[in-house]
Amino acid sequence: MADEALRGEVDAVVAFHDGNVRAAITTLLLDCRHLRLQLALTEGAMSRGMTRGWTPAFERR
């Protein structure tokens, strides 16, 4: 984690959860699950022409 901005974000997430790292990770995993569901719903609702051929990807490239 060489990026200082990312380090600050991590510190903020842990601080939000009063130093409870497990709670911070749980919240982030639940957020990821929610966003994947939203992405799946969006993929089903939009047409390829609307995005000029772009399609969402569930995994980071």
Say which residues have a Cβ less than 8 Å from residue 24's Cβ, sequence separation at least 6: 13, 14, 16, 17
**Whole-prediction pTM:** 0.69
Splitting the chain (61 residues) into consecutive groups of 10 residues, what average pLDDT does each group show? 83 97 97 91 72 71 69
Sequential DSSP letters for 3-51 = -HHHHHHHHHHHHHTTT-HHHHHHHHHHHHHHHHHHHHHHHHHS-GGGG
Domain ranges of the chain: 4-47
**pLDDT recorded at residue 49:** 62
pLDDT for 39: 86
Residues ≥6 apart with Cβ < 8 Å to 7: 1
According to the model, what pLDDT value does residue 32 have?
93
| Predicted local distance difference test score (pLDDT) of residue 42 | 81
Q: Give residue 54's pLDDT.
A: 72
